[in-house]
Structure 1
Amino acid sequence: MGALYAVYEVSRGLQRGWNPTADRNGRTIQRWEDAVHLAPEQPLNEALHHLPVLAVMCAYFYATLHYIVTPAVLVWLYRAHPTHYRSARTCLAAATLTALIGYWRFPATPPRLVSRGGIHDIVAEVEQWGWWSGRTSAPGGLGGLINEYAAMPSLHVGWALWSGWLLFRHARRTVWRGCGLAYPVLTTLVVVATGNHYLADALVGALLIALFGALDGVVRHAGARAYGPTTRFTPTASSARLTGELIAAEQPDPHPTPPPR
């Protein structure tokens, strides 16, 4: 995690002077969505703009859950399902590192910052109801810690899909499995409706998690075929009897025979 944060800081530090490039990339994403008739940002954002109570709820969702749910699921998996922790952690780290490199190589302005884009900055509009700053979802005075051009891909959606899939797959209670299914869907709606991401950003973020999850499954399957399944020892009647005799032989005799004089 420390290494990933270092990469993020480097990519954020290199963003200075990237405004024209980021604007151009953001508009490219917008044109691509228009070309394939898959651009729901405007109607979702306009509807949320006219629903202030829901807008505040979405702002809290966007500014809070991203930083709470992911580490909570990681700790839960480590404690409750340690056999699945390593592969899940590797998938999360690999997808995050790839996204950070993407922010460096392909900076993209989010819809809320595109000039004359017609998208409202919902999080900034309800700033007086939350703890975040008007610039970003970071607390007031800490907006400089956030890369404004880290839009493609969406780690909000990628991490939500990672968390949701693990909850759905390993949670025992139905309510938590249902939360696992709903969480990435709600996250996608929130990041698009608040103007923080294009739908394409969300799809690529989800694709990253799916890709590295599939690669991890392929690697583990290949390893199982190469080394074979682990053979478990099943005691038989004769082996159990032999084990009992060995244990008895190692125990001290409660009535030892006195040595001859």
Structure 2
Amino acid sequence: MRRSVLPRLAVALAFAVQAALVALLFAVYGYGRHLADGRPDVAFANAERVRDLQRVLRLPDEAALQEAALRWDGWARIANEYYVRVHFPATFLFLGWIWFWRRAAWPRLLAVVALSLAVALAIHTLYPLAPPRLLPGGDFVDLMNVYGPSSYATEPGEGMANQFAAMPSLHVGWAVLVAWGVIRYGRGRWRWLAVAHPVVTLLVVVLTANHYWLDGIVGSVIVATALAVTVRLERRRGPARAGLSVRRDSVGA
């Protein structure tokens, strides 16, 4: 009986260690975002630059899109709920699924999460960006404050959340990661429905005026680049492991 209990304890301990590591990554990221807050003048100036660049790229105007969508505002609270309540639970459920049922992929996914957090924190620090909902002029409606629920304080600078960290959008970036992981490691035709998650997330973050198109694009590029880096690292480790195995065999012979 002891033999059957020990492996379970080992798995539980390993999971607790990995869960603590993930929690530590998020805690460092959250505290780093908070420390990066406090440059509103730069954040608003960067917002104008982002909007100018989007015009050059001919991306759809977020304000006009939101105005058209608000002709029927029944979706507003649903979108806010999606923004507030889906992002982290979906990400953590995905990581839990990877840990328990696709264990071999865990190191790669953990590396992608860590890399994306590090890059995002660097951008938050070097390039503060005011979200559309905070821009003066009344072009945007702050749906989270008007319809609720909101994950932010009423005024920027209050609470722990850095409201000038719109770039990049990890809501979109990690939605891409979740969709990629479900399709890559899942089974059956239903896994392709995961594509809807990043599409809906991008529309939600833009229509709620929490992010610009470029925030979502950059968040997606960060995750895609991190995935590409992990592929290269795995390919380098493959020959190294093969060489180590050959050396061991030769020594054993």
TM-score between the two structures when normalised by the length of structure 1: 0.79
The CA RMSD measured in Å over matched residues stands at 2.2
Q: 1:178 to 1:43 in 2, by over 3 A?
A: farther
Shift of 1:60: 0.7
Which residue identity does 1:120 align to in structure 2?
V
Corresponding position of 1:2:
24
Rounded to whole Å, the distance in 2 between the matches of 1:114 and 1:77 is: 39
**2:128 is aligned with 1:107:** yes
Matches within 5 A, 1:56-205: 56-116=77-137, 118-127=139-148, 130=149, 132=151, 135=154, 144-175=159-190, 177-205=191-219
Shift of 1:93: 1.3
Rounded to whole Å, the distance in 2 between the matches of 1:97 and 1:226 is: 27
Q: Assess if the C-alpha contact under 8 Å between 1:26 and 1:110 holds in 2.
A: yes
* SS at 2:139 equivalent: coil
Shift of 1:226: 3.2
**2:35 is aligned with 1:13:** yes
Q: Assess if the C-alpha contact under 8 Å between 1:48 and 1:194 holds in 2.
A: no
Rounded to whole Å, the distance in 2 between the matches of 1:6 and 1:97 is: 10
Rounded to whole Å, the distance in 1 between the matches of 2:168 and 2:231 is: 23
TM-score between the two structures when normalised by the length of structure 2: 0.81
Deviation string 1:13-66 (CA, Å, 9 cap, x unpaired) is 3422x1100000111100100112113312321123222221111111111111
Rounded to whole Å, the distance in 1 between the matches of 2:137 and 2:218 is: 25
Q: Which runs of 4+ in 1 moved over 4 A?
A: 131-134
Percent identity for Structure 1 against Structure 2: 26
Rounded to whole Å, the distance in 1 between the matches of 2:125 and 2:68 is: 33
Rounded to whole Å, the distance in 1 between the matches of 2:52 and 2:66 is: 18
Q: Assess if the C-alpha contact under 8 Å between 2:179 and 2:195 holds in 1.
A: yes
* SS at 2:159 equivalent: helix
Q: Assess if the C-alpha contact under 8 Å between 1:11 and 1:101 holds in 2.
A: no
- Larger Rg computed on CA atoms: 1
Q: 1:15 to 1:133 in 2, by over 3 A?
A: closer
Corresponding position of 2:227:
213
Rounded to whole Å, the distance in 2 between the matches of 1:229 and 1:170 is: 28
Aligned residues: 222
Shift of 1:179: 3.0
Which residue identity does 1:110 align to in structure 2?
P
Which residue identity does 2:106 align to in structure 1?
Y
Rounded to whole Å, the distance in 2 between the matches of 1:123 and 1:195 is: 9
Rounded to whole Å, the distance in 1 between the matches of 2:114 and 2:123 is: 14
